[in-house]
Structure 1
């Protein structure tokens, strides 16, 4: 499901995502969040490789805070939410949540995070203004 400043990405937990106890390994939550941000950008009509090749721009994670509230487990159906909280000149601050889908459309909050991504030039890796086409869609 997509709105301009919010995107919800479904994820199924596979065995490979878990540790020996069948619980999602902590770093994999970050992978799920990265996929949600990438798919959100794609639904807006922007492929990351095209941005890099044509505009010399890529988005990189500059910082994050994450809170693990409850564990996700093997075979859980998750919803990964990516919502833009703040738009800066060269950065976006995402508020992200991961929910477990339950029966009867119930949801259980598992993880919350604030993720700051910065637009950088592919040649210098210095911050650059977010491309106009993306900025116009978000404002």
Structure 2
């Protein structure tokens, strides 16, 4: 996974509360960093969440996360959270995540979301408007179907 594979990244600075007594980021915070990156990815793509999300009766739900820790971030580091959709299925999508300090990759991973009906949480097709936004936004087009 190369930084050039990602069109989108979000900067953030490690806060004191996210580090242990040695100044190293606690591993659970990397999922929060990934969530910030995905939220800003949606915003950059023009697909932000709003009151209409719930009104339409469907939403994306995280169903799988996998992070590989390669090197620790430390208090006050400036990190770049790189995000891209690598697979886009009928009702699911796979995000690839790369968290870097300068050019050094600290954490890489994936998060799979399923588009589902909010009332019964059963999968539903990803709307075409979202697919079109991804196709226009991404530098590397997502691979085929997950589900």
Query: Normalising by the residue count of structure 2, what TM-score does the alignment of the two structures yield?
Result: 0.82
Unaligned runs of 5+ in 1: 102-106
**2:118 maps to which residue?**
122
What's the offset of the Cα at 1:126?
Answer: 1.3
Structure 2: tracts of 5 or more residues without a match: 1-5, 136-147
Partner of 1:41: 42
- Pairwise CA distance, 1:51: 4.8
Report deviation, 1:11.
Answer: 0.8
Contact preservation (8 Å) 1:59, 1:118: yes
8 Å contact kept, 1:68–1:112: yes
C-alpha distance in structure 2 between counterparts of 1:78 and 1:53, whole Å: 32
Offset, 1:81: 0.5
- DSSP-derived class of the 1:38 partner: helix
Distance 1:92 1:60, change over 3 A: same
Equivalent-residue separation in structure 2 for 1:20 and 1:61 (angstroms): 31
Q: Secondary structure at the match of 1:135?
A: helix
Q: Structure 2 vs 1, CA of residues 100 and 29 (structure 1 numbering), >3 Å: closer, same or farther? A: same
Q: 1:40 to 1:59 in 2, by over 3 A?
A: same
Question: Number of aligned pairs?
Answer: 130
Q: Deviations over 1:79-122 (max 9, x none)?
A: 00011111001111111100002xxxxx1110000111111111
**How is 1:1-139 mapped onto 2 (pairs within 5 angstroms)?**
6-101=7-102, 107-139=103-135
Number of the residue aligned with 1:104: none
Cα RMSD for the two superposed structures? 1.5
Alpha-carbon separation, structure 1, partners of 2:58 and 2:50: 9
Distance 1:27 1:58 in 2: 24
